Chains A and B, each alone.
Chain A
């Protein structure tokens, strides 16, 4: 008989215990829900052909939700014993009772629907079929391929291979399970010559984020990509700095992911608009009355919240309180339509929202998060866009990001730029940066490549919340042309 890995064995060991414990407690408050998250991460890095980071993490725990007098409080524990669950429930019940005297809002049961179902990431072969040795071998070969020259001082290949299972039971009758297979990877080369150092990576640091099985590890394709990445790092060593001027900018999809994330995703989160995030992540320039009215960008701008997309990082059937996931337009023809608000935020704000109540793991309460936020494609080819530019720069792969707490004034930097003069690419520039203000920037969007050119990336590290949480997000985008943007170099 084949021995189960711990990632398979742990949920098996604790599932019936979890169900029993839920049944013991489900009638002990106005509302009770138990969520179990079991997640195994294999996080491997091979540097210059040698093992560097070889970590595995088996994370399992339970989040207990309790509603008392309309206020929802939480207890979280990895002590998966009768005593452990009792301690977590008792502590949470006591604090929830006290907190319910000073609540921001008094919810009703509509914020915890009775959802039943299952979800499984689309994949050909499950990640549980992939051995550590296979991952290591792939990373070793790709890392060695990145080292095309002695000037490459660091050639790094990384992969986080994640198997995550969620199970949610509530006293309302919700009962759903979700099974995610996720891969996050990065391949980067750092070139150095004298005082000049440049890093180039395949679509930015850990920008490659997908729900996918072990079929992701296609060695031939990745080796070719790694060689190209490394040669571009060498090219950057002798490239001139990006000029300082105002000109046209084409952003590649691996930079657009960040542009969408910071200047569309975050400002549309309803909990930010409601003020919950003011002390940490920030507020938003978007006001409740802007929905349905605000001209967010040019008329060609269509942005969707789409947790139903195949293989994208943040796809699911239900958010973490059981709201069924559906695709929804956030911005249609440039006009702001809806916010990223969970059932709780919708209840408080009376605004339209989406299924986005999510938490980083069993030890944090769910809050409004992005999932997959995608910019729909346009009608140009990349060649057409380039040929329309008299003076501009194409920027690839994010490396620096900063935006204010209202999500207005941003400054982003990229790894590599291609200078365009009179409709043709004339050379490579290093240290390309640009800055702008959200709404005027999106109004300067003048062309996008077609839907078939959209590329899908994401981030495993979107930070927000108090206590802080990271969340996985996906972003799909075409190449996009923006007019009259302030750019500068190093």
Chain B
């Protein structure tokens, strides 16, 4: 793919006229998706998908045009030159873009990564053999994924990675426990150990179900539950552009009216190694951007476009200003002490369907999901019936945050809407007091 996109872009740049600029952003994947239910295969899908977005700039105007590559150069040149010719006509009928950014050469880079993993053909048998004594629902995803940002000013950044994950849950009737496995090197021992750990958790659900009244409860959020909350927080809440346009759940933090707990720090950390440093414009992000440090907002994700509109500094966020490699700083709580420190409260493995119920007060609502337990005197009593919470981030990560765990978990993004998402998220678990349950 690297050689193809290089040749394709060079041929396209040769067709440009004076005062014209062209950028290309490539997303390419050869993916295997295997969907399981009852530990058996429901659907297998192999996908070969190669999208290229052409950004055509002329006279302070810009248009983005995405299409799929067939990998036949003549066909692809025909489509691309057709689009560019259309753009030449259309652009002049529109106004100049007030945040127009001319392309520049942001350098060259090439990165290739590949994990050791079993062949795709082994996966149906592996999953069936490992989980045939239970009922697994979920999916396996693997294969190479590539991104590139190239422009007519000489820039060429190419990133290729090949990874896998198994995202699943196990069932005993309506009782369920969530599991996840991804690694740099697939280890059968590690894979079997995590499978056993999930099965053990499922067994804990056999204890009598506890009915918990609405109200305030102390909780422990496992890293996966934390990932759900911080994932919702990261959707536009950390975007400088969204903030300026009026979507501002962290306004009181930014205005220093409120602080979060000094224990809470959030960093865009590309050193995790799952995302390229370059964005779709080819701009290189700093390796680390401190977003929230010790409870204070240090910076927001700011693209060059937003920076130009509001006359502020860019930190080379992508145009969407969504985090690509987020890390919550770990704490000091040892895993062995979680239940005793929680004492009496709720141990929440997973949360579900979180959304802001009130953006201005950063209040979120969502549900408990999968293996969630009532804990008393530092011991698990039994599973709980699902509860709805409605709680502000200013409480969750503010005065109510008691402690974060020393150990963190890394989750490769399992998002596959339209195409596979690149990136990862690293977070510890969290002990929180007075979490508000409403239904």
Residues of B within 8 A of A154 (CB): 245-246
Contact with B along A69-91 (1 / 0, CB 8 A): 00111111111110010011001
Bound complex: CA A57 to CA B64 (Å)? 8
Please count the residue pairs between chain A and chain B whose beta carbons lie under 8 angstroms apart in the complex: 270
B121 touches A94 (CB 8 A): yes
From A57, A78, A88, A463, give the contact of B46 (CB < 8 A): A88
Q: Are the CB atoms of A275 and B38 closer together than 8 Å?
A: yes
Whether A80 pairs with B43 at a CB distance below 8 angstroms is no
A468 in contact with B417 (CB, 8 Å): yes
Interface bits B212-251 vs A (CB < 8 Å: 1, else 0): 0000000000000000000000000000000001111001
Is A365 on the interface with B (CB-CB < 8 A)? yes
A61:B49 contact, CB within 8 angstroms: yes
| Contact flag A73-B75 (CB < 8 Å), given A197-B246, A197-B360 | no
Query: A360, B418: Cβ atoms under 8 Å?
Result: yes
A329, B23: Cα distance in complex, Å:
51
The yes or no answer to A98 lying at the interface (CB within 8 A) is: yes
Q: How far is the CA of A56 from the CA of B51 in the complex (A)?
A: 12
Contact with A along B3-33 (1 / 0, CB 8 A): 0000000000000000000000000000111
How many Å lie between the Cα of A73 and that of B38 in the bound state?
A: 17
Are A74 and B43 neighbours in the complex by a CB distance under 8 Å?
yes
Tell me if B438 and A435 are in contact (CB < 8 A).
yes
Q: A409, B367: Cβ atoms under 8 Å?
A: yes
B356 at the interface (CB under 8 A from A): yes
Residues of B within 8 A of A59 (CB): 66-68
Residue with the highest number of chain A CB atoms closer than 10 Å, among B43, B82, B138? B43
**Known pairs A58-B79, A278-B176, A402-B365; A95 contacts B65 (CB<8 A):** no
B contact residues around A363 at 8 Å (CB): 45, 47, 49, 419
Q: Does A118 have its Cβ within 8 Å of any Cβ on chain B?
A: no
Nearest CB to that of A404 among chain B residues?
B367
**Is B44 touching A102 in the complex (CB atoms < 8 A)?**
no
Q: How far is the CA of A429 from the CA of B417 in the complex (A)?
A: 36
Whether the Cβ atoms of A199 and B68 lie closer than 8 Å is no
Count chain A residues whose beta carbon lies closer than 8 angstroms to a beta carbon of B: 91
User: A311 vs B186: C-alpha distance in the bound complex, in angstroms?
Assistant: 51
Considering residues B66, B167, B168, which has the most beta carbons from chain A within 10 angstroms of its beta carbon? Answer: B66
B388 within 8 A of A: yes
Nearest-CB residue, chain B, relative to A72: B43
Is A282 at the interface (CB under 8 A from chain B)? Answer: yes
Known: A51-B97, A402-B366. A466 touches B35 (CB 8 A): yes
Contact of B43 with A81 in the complex, beta carbons under 8 Å:
no
B50 touches A78 (CB 8 A): yes
Which of A102, A190, A406 counts the most chain B CB atoms within 10 A? A102
- Are B45 and A365 in contact, with the CB atoms below 8 A? yes
A10 at the interface (CB under 8 A from B): yes
Q: Of the candidates B44, B95, B98, which one forms a contact with A95 in the assembled complex, judged by CB atoms under 8 Å apart?
A: B44
**Chain A hits for B245, CB < 8 A:** 47, 153-154, 190
B415–A102 touching, CB < 8 Å: no
**Also in contact, A279 and B68, with CB within 8 A (given A98-B121, A99-B34):** no
Question: Quick one: given A78-B50, A79-B48, are A104 and B246 in contact (CB under 8 Å)?
Answer: no
A109 within 8 A of B: no
In the complex the two chains form, is A406's CB within 8 Å of B357's CB? no
Interface flags for B66-89 (1: CB within 8 Å of A; 0: not) read: 111111100100010011001000
Q: Contact: B355 with A466, CB < 8 Å?
A: no
Q: Which residue of B lies closest to A83 (CB)?
A: B71
Report the bound CA distance from A433 to B438 in whole Å. Answer: 13
Query: Which residues of chain A have C-beta atoms less than 8 A from B50's C-beta?
Result: 78-79
Q: Does A142 belong to the interface (CB within 8 Å)?
A: no
Which residue of the partner chain A has the closest CB to B369? A405
B311 at the interface (CB under 8 A from A): no
Q: Tell me whether A364 and B246 are in contact (CB under 8 A).
A: no
Are B138 and A279 closer than 8 Å at their CB atoms?
A: yes
Q: What are the residues of chain A within 8 A of B63 when measuring CB–CB? A: 54-56
Query: Complex: how many Å from CA A165 to CA B52?
Result: 21
**Are B43 and A102 neighbours in the complex by a CB distance under 8 Å?**
no
Q: Is the CB of B93 within 8 A of A133?
A: yes
With A59-B67, A404-B386 already in contact, the answer to whether A74 and B44 are too (CB < 8 A) is yes
Interface SS of A by simple majority: mixed
Are B45 and A74 in contact, CB atoms less than 8 angstroms apart? yes
> When the two chains form the complex, which single residue of B48, B83, B90 contacts A84, counting CB atoms closer than 8 Å?
B48
B171 within 8 A of partner (CB) = yes
Contact A411 B128 (CB under 8 A): no
Q: How far is the CB of A212 from chain B (nearest CB, A)?
A: 22
Query: B381 contacts the other chain (Cβ, under 8 Å)?
Result: no
Q: Contacts A60-B68, A401-B355, A470-B417 given: A76-B369 contact, CB under 8 Å?
A: no
Q: Is the CB of A199 within 8 A of B90?
A: no
CA distance A6 to B363 in the complex (A): 45
Residues A79 and B70 in contact, CB atoms below 8 Å apart: yes
Is the Cβ of B71 less than 8 Å from the Cβ of A81?
Answer: yes
Q: Which residue of B lies closest to A58 (CB)?
A: B67
User: CA–CA, A98 to B365, complex, Å?
Assistant: 43
Interface check A256, CB cutoff 8 A: no
Asked if residues B42 and A104 are in contact (CB atoms below 8 Å), the reply is yes
The answer for the CA separation of A96 and B33 in the assembled complex, in Å, is: 12
Task: Check B125 for interface membership: any CB of A closer than 8 A.
Answer: yes
Q: Is B40 an interface residue (CB 8 A)?
A: yes
Q: Indicate if the CB atoms of A92 and B94 lie closer than 8 Å.
A: no
Would you call B152 an interface residue if the criterion is a C-beta within 8 Å of the partner chain's C-beta atoms?
no
Cross-interface CB contact of A400 among B35, B178, B357, cutoff 8 Å: B357
Q: Are A400 and B438 in contact (CB under 8 A)?
A: no
Chain B residue numbers with a CB within 8 Å of A81 are 70-72, 75
Is A403 interfacial (CB-CB < 8 Å)? Answer: yes
Interface contact B94-A136, CB-CB below 8 Å: yes
| A55 nearest in chain B by CB position | B64
B305: nearest residue on chain A (CB-CB)? A52
Residue B354 at the chain A interface, CB threshold 8 Å:
yes
Q: Which of A95, A101, A408 contacts B32 (CB 8 A)?
A: A95
B82 to A6, Cβ gap below 8 A? Answer: yes
Task: Please measure, in the bound complex, the distance between the C-alpha atom of A365 and the C-alpha atom of B42, giving whole angstroms.
Answer: 11
Nearest-neighbour CB distance to chain B for A2, whole angstroms, equals 13
Determine whether the beta carbon of A95 is less than 8 Å from that of B120.
yes
Cβ-closest chain A residue relative to B370:
A405
Give complex CA distance A71, B37 in Å. 14
- Cβ of B70 to closest chain A Cβ, rounded Å: 5
Instruction: Kindly state the separation between the CA atoms of A195 and B255 in the bound complex, as whole angstroms.
Output: 10
Does the CB pair B70–A467 fall under 8 Å? Answer: no
Tell me the complex Cα distance, A89–B31, Å.
14
**Interface check B139, CB cutoff 8 A:** yes
A49 (CB) vs chain B CBs: closest residue: B95
Instruction: Digitize A417-449: 1 where CB-to-B-CB distance is under 8 Å, 0 elsewhere.
Output: 000000000000001010101000000000000
Is A276 interfacial (CB 8 A cutoff)? yes
A250: min CB distance to chain B, Å: 20
Residue A308, interface by CB 8 Å = no
Residue of B nearest to A48 (CB): B98
In the A-B complex, the 4 residue pairs with the smallest Cβ-Cβ separation, listed nearest first, are A467-B416, A78-B68, A133-B93, A190-B246
Question: 16 A-B pairs, CB-CB below 8 angstroms?
Answer: A54-B64, A57-B65, A61-B68, A74-B45, A101-B125, A131-B93, A190-B247, A197-B246, A276-B42, A279-B137, A279-B169, A401-B355, A404-B369, A404-B386, A411-B357, A490-B360
Instruction: Please give the residue numbers on chain A whose beta carbons come within 8 Å of chain B beta carbons, in ascending order.
Output: 5-6, 9-10, 13, 47, 50-51, 54-61, 71-81, 84, 87-88, 91-92, 94-96, 98-99, 101-104, 131-133, 136, 140, 153-154, 190, 192, 195-197, 199, 274-280, 282-283, 360-361, 363-365, 367, 400-406, 408-409, 411, 413, 431, 433, 435, 437, 463, 466-470, 490
